[in-house]
Chains A and B, each alone.
Chain A
Amino acid sequence: MGQRSGVGVVELAILEVLDARRARPHGRAVQCEKVLAALEDEMGLDRKYAWQVLIDLTQSWKLPVPLVDGIGNFGSRGNDPPASPRYSEARLSPAGQLALAAERGQIAPVPIGMINGNTHRDGLRPPFRPATVIDAIRQVLDRPRLSGSLITGIVGPPDFITGCTVTGDLAALNAGQHAELGLHARVTVTDTAHVRDREMKAANPGQRQVVLSFRTGLGPPGAAPPLLGASSRQDPSRPVIVIDKFPPYANTDETIRSIADRAEGRDWHSRHPELGALTRLPIRNLADRTTSRGGYWFTCEPADGTPPEVLRDQLLKVHGVSIYITTRLPRPLPAMIRTWIRANQHEDLPGSLTALETSLASRRQKLVAAEY
């Protein structure tokens, strides 16, 4: 990886190619196929592999510090695949340009690799919140004897851009040991009125929302599949469970299919009622309410007689609603920060940190507007 940005070698090669073709922030973008051809010609990088790395760099839900702006279809969080590299373009993001400048010694090093981690490419290092990593580095610069526990407290737990909840043995992770982390979607018990409200806010004026619904085995015979069926329309206080803020590495299309499948009856349920009770989800209706403006979210209506909290707990056990990843930092978190500072102590670190913050300002505004 690049010593001065922590960005991976292949990622840096992609940034170099974009810069060489003047595909810079807010400027013109370059066709992705040309980027891949250049990577193959100049570095011998396999196109298929390089394309996968480039796709990862453009998928906004994977990296806290985006390095590339993708223009075109780079795929969805479900089964929608990216378009051919012939039909998409890319250019450096402001942070990508900063990473290159740091690698070339034009500015002091930036801790982009430390923030982004590499779990998005099946690595072991999870991402952290940019603002807290920058804050921790600043505080250690000001007070070099700051204790390790204070440093880990400032950095906080691993942070994924989708806002999923992180559970696991954080102490082990911070100590540089292997730690299994659970990444969990937000599963909220609410009511029909709240769902309608959210739909209204997410709807684009003049655009009809298409709701993908699943009729589940537990609904009454002949019931309409959409979530807000007759009973819900009559009763705005009817409980509904909203699932959103999915883990970044979960496939949302497969997750809703899993939930729908788990609501179906199986032949063996009558022979093994106890296993059936553990595995079958008591769902009346299920709908994917994902829109470009409203983000990725599903709604579930519990079957009659099922307390919504019981269904909520069961949903949290479905793969995709929760996923588990293995993580390990190369050394304890405080040592990572201290080592990085020590290696670069004669450079203008406050200046490069401010530049990194500035490069992420527009990203923050977009995140406020977007729902994951």
Chain B
Amino acid sequence: MLGHAARVPCVNAGAPDIGEAAVAGSGFPVVVLAAAILAAEQVSGVLVGSAALWLRGEPVSVGDVDVVIEPGEANLRRLHEALCGLAVRSEAVPAVHRLREISVATVFSSYGRVDCMLERGRRDWEQLRAGAGYVPVADVGVLVASAADARALRARFRNG
């Protein structure tokens, strides 16, 4: 059991099944599939934020996915290609040379919002990677930060 989907009850008559729309067929929040696709595209990154906490079994609502990206030329190239396939507007995906410089690359996909945290990767990759473990999402292993690391990062962002 990987976690627990927050069920969204339907409030409108005539649409009895729509409340399940936030959840993919296997019980994942839909946006978590975006992280699985990045992993399937062989992008090296650690999932943090609410999606990581959800996959670690915490009862949080998942609005987007935050992925700390491993710094490294080959990985940034894979990331660029993966984001071009994932983003609704591929022209909005930063070029590889921009990915080396910017802090966060945000793309909107058909699964929801994906934040690629590049600066965090440049600073804390080794530490985050050390505490992370693989969690299966469908038939893909997604590298997920430890609950403690995910909570600590979240607190750091919320406290500025």
Is B112 a contact partner of A167 (Cβ separation < 8 A)? Answer: no
**CB-CB under 8 A for A184 and B21, given A262-B110, A319-B111, A324-B63:** yes
Query: How far does the Cβ of B92 sit from chain A's closest Cβ, in whole Å?
Result: 10
Quick check: is A317 within 8 A (CB to CB) of the other chain? yes
Quick check: is A279 within 8 A (CB to CB) of the other chain? yes
Quick check: is B8 within 8 A (CB to CB) of the other chain? yes
Q: Which residues of A contact B23 (CB under 8 A)?
A: 317
Quick check: is B153 within 8 A (CB to CB) of the other chain? no
Against A, the Cβ 8 Å flags (1 = close, 0 = not) of B1-34 are: 0000000111110110111111111100010010
Q: Which residues of A contact B26 (CB under 8 A)?
A: 278
Quick check: is B37 within 8 A (CB to CB) of the other chain? yes
Q: Which residues of A contact B85 (CB under 8 A)?
A: 261, 266
Quick check: is A258 within 8 A (CB to CB) of the other chain? yes
| A-B residue pair count with CB separations less than 8 angstroms | 108
**Interface centre among A261, A313, A317, by most B CB within 10 Å?**
A317
Chain B: number of interface residues, binned into ranges = 35 or more
Q: Which residue of chain B has its CB nearest to the CB of A164?
A: B12
Is A320 a contact partner of B110 (Cβ separation < 8 A)? Answer: yes
CA distance A279 to B26 in the complex (A): 11
CA distance A131 to B138 in the complex (A): 46
Chain A: number of interface residues, binned into ranges = 35 or more
Q: Which residue of chain B has its CB nearest to the CB of A273?
A: B139
Against A, the Cβ 8 Å flags (1 = close, 0 = not) of B76-111 are: 000000000100110000000000000000001111
CA distance A184 to B20 in the complex (A): 11
CA distance A180 to B62 in the complex (A): 10
CA distance A280 to B63 in the complex (A): 21
Quick check: is A132 within 8 A (CB to CB) of the other chain? no
Query: How far does the Cβ of B90 sit from chain A's closest Cβ, in whole Å?
Result: 9
Is A157 a contact partner of B11 (Cβ separation < 8 A)? Answer: yes
| Interfacial residues of chain A within 303-323, with CB under 8 A of chain B in the complex | 313-314, 316-320, 322
Is B8 a contact partner of A180 (Cβ separation < 8 A)? Answer: yes
Query: How far does the Cβ of B112 sit from chain A's closest Cβ, in whole Å?
Result: 5
Is A258 a contact partner of B88 (Cβ separation < 8 A)? Answer: yes
Against B, the Cβ 8 Å flags (1 = close, 0 = not) of A323-360 are: 01010000000000000000000000000000000000
CA distance A261 to B25 in the complex (A): 19
| Interfacial residues of chain A within 233-259, with CB under 8 A of chain B in the complex | 254, 257-259
| Interfacial residues of chain A within 166-224, with CB under 8 A of chain B in the complex | 166-170, 180, 182, 184
**CB-CB under 8 A for A257 and B88, given A168-B8, A180-B61, A184-B18:** yes
Is B88 a contact partner of A279 (Cβ separation < 8 A)? Answer: no
CA distance A313 to B85 in the complex (A): 23
Quick check: is A274 within 8 A (CB to CB) of the other chain? yes
CA distance A108 to B28 in the complex (A): 51
Q: Which residues of A contact B11 (CB under 8 A)?
A: 157, 166-168, 170
Quick check: is A165 within 8 A (CB to CB) of the other chain? yes
Quick check: is A272 within 8 A (CB to CB) of the other chain? yes
Q: Which residues of B contact A254 (CB under 8 A)?
A: 88-89, 108
Quick check: is B140 within 8 A (CB to CB) of the other chain? yes
Q: Which residues of B contact A165 (CB under 8 A)?
A: 10, 12, 14-15, 18
Query: Could you jot down 11 A-B contacts, CB within 8 Å?
Result: A165-B14, A165-B15, A167-B18, A180-B8, A261-B110, A272-B36, A274-B139, A278-B138, A319-B88, A319-B112, A322-B21
- Which 9 A-B residue pairings sit nearest by Cβ, starting from the closest? A258-B110, A274-B139, A275-B138, A268-B40, A274-B138, A316-B21, A170-B11, A254-B88, A165-B15
Residue positions of A touching B, CB distance < 8 A = 157, 165-170, 180, 182, 184, 254, 257-259, 261-262, 266, 268, 271-275, 277-279, 313-314, 316-320, 322, 324, 326
